[in-house]
Amino acid sequence: MVIKDRIRGTALDALLAAGLAGCAVAAAARWPGVRPLDGPGTLMLVAAHVPLTWRRRRPGTALAAVVALALPFHLLQYQHHAAAPAEIFALFTFAVLGHRVRTVLAGTAALLLACAVIFAMGASGRSGIEQVGVIEAIVAVVVGVQGWRVHRARMAAITERAERAERTRDEEARRRVAEERLRIARDLHDLLAHSVTVIGVQAGAAAHLVKSHRPLDRTELAGTLDGIAATCRDTRTELRATLQVLREHEDAGVPRAVPPGAAGIAELVEAARAAGLEAVLTERGEGREEPEAGIVAYRIVQEALTNVVKHARASGVEVALEREGGVLRITVADNGRGRAAGGTGTGFGIIGMTERARSVGGTVETGPGAAGGFVVTALLPLGAAAGAGRRADAR
């Protein structure tokens, strides 16, 4: 394709050179000036147009060849204006395609050469005004083309900056969309996995009471069903809060509900008890976490308890919250079989807990407990440290 384009460009330049040569010969024959056009003059004039054939591939060489071949034509006092279009065209091409420093030097050289020719013509009575006109034409070509090139380079730089800014905005928008999708995915996973697990366990307990051969304890059955209803209500509230993110433009005037913070962990422990676990919550120390860190703490405990109910085969779990030294330490330890969700330690739950803790500058560690079971330990910054950690994570 490149070779074909070069061949096509060379052919067009050859046609252009031939057309200019024909016009130049006709003009020199029609208006001979000081010396009538003869055979040698025609040959020199046509030869001065031949280098225009490779003006695109070798603009500097073409300019030098045109000037060298046209110089005898001028010195022999043929019609000077006949060769001027070829010279100006070659100079214009080199000014457009050549390097700027070389273009200025070539223009200066061409100007000096023109001056030498003009001084040589001075002996034959050429007017000073016409000599100055030739110099002005050369200077105008060089300066005009250089101004055009500077303008084109400036416009190209402006266009490039605009395109780069547009790409940056698009990338930022895509990044924000990806982060929001990941956050919604984590919320839905934490919410639905926990709620469905608790409902499943409670529904199984209710079914067991109904099928049992012992007399039906209506009070116990009603308590189990009430627990299912309460879990459904809480799930509906949190699900609505999560889905409002997707409709924030439609519900711009509706206050957005937010998941409970660390204060809601007691309800999670109570739900674990309703699911049949001996769940214990202990709190030590004083301090107040930022709202976002509180939500992260709630979600981590929620996911850890969900894993205990679903996978640990445990009878008891202990949740401990310790606030000391500007750090909230969360520990969820069960007495189950000592393996993570799914038995591999690579489930989405553990990944989600890790990502949530990292979003506020915290960490999560998981592994078997020293006395058996499985332990989830999270360290979250309290107060202003949470905001600093979040900003550092964003960078």
Query: Is 110 part of a structural domain of the chain?
Result: yes
Query: Is 156 part of a structural domain of the chain?
Result: no
Q: Which helix (H) or strand (E) holds 355?
A: helix 348-359
Query: Is 338 part of a structural domain of the chain?
Result: yes
Give Cβ neighbours of residue 379 (< 8 Å, ≥ 6 apart): 327, 328, 329, 330, 357, 362, 363, 364
The length of the chain is 395
pLDDT at residue 35, as a whole number: 80
Give CA–CA dist 376/353, Å, rounded.
10
pLDDT at 109 over 60: yes
91, 126, 161 - which closes a domain: 126
Give CA–CA dist 48/86, Å, rounded.
7
Torsion over CA: 136, 138, 144, 147 (sign): negative
Give CA–CA dist 288/284, Å, rounded.
12
**Total structural domains within the chain:** 2
108, 126, 144 - which closes a domain: 126
Residue 214 vs residue 276, higher pLDDT: 276
Q: Of 114-123, 124-133, 366-375, which has the strongest mean pLDDT?
A: 366-375
The alpha carbon of 71 is separated from its chain's Cα centroid by a whole number of angstroms, namely: 57
pLDDT tens digit sequence for 204-263: 777 777 777 777 777 777 877 887 887 787 777 777 766 665 555 444 444 444 557 778
Alpha-carbon separation of residue 335 from 164, 268, 275 (angstroms): 56, 18, 16
- Enter the tokens of residue 2: 């490149």
DSSP 185-217: HHHHHHHHHHHHHHHHHHHHHHHHHHH-SSPP-
Q: Which band of pLDDT confidence, cut at 50, 70 and 90, is reported for residue 124?
A: very low
Question: Where do the DSSP E strands lie in 209-326?
Answer: 278-285, 316-324
Inter-residue contact 256 to 238 (CB < 8 Å): no
68, 101, 126 - which closes a domain: 126
Mean pLDDT of 360-389: 81
Inter-residue contact 275 to 302 (CB < 8 Å): no
Inter-residue contact 365 to 377 (CB < 8 Å): yes
Query: Is 202 part of a structural domain of the chain?
Result: no
Report the CATH number at residue 300: 3.30.565.10
Query: Is 49 part of a structural domain of the chain?
Result: yes
Q: Of 30-39, 189-198, 341-350, 363-372, which has the strongest mean pLDDT?
A: 363-372
Containing structural domain, residue 96: 2-126
pLDDT tens digit sequence for 10-22: 788 888 888 888 8
Query: Is 267 part of a structural domain of the chain?
Result: no
pLDDT tens digit sequence for 162-185: 888 888 887 887 887 777 677 777
Say what the pTM is: 0.44
Query: Is 35 part of a structural domain of the chain?
Result: yes
Inter-residue contact 296 to 260 (CB < 8 Å): no
Query: Is 89 part of a structural domain of the chain?
Result: yes
Q: SS3 of 46, please? A: helix
pLDDT at residue 350, as a whole number: 81
Q: Which helix (H) or strand (E) holds 95?
A: helix 80-97
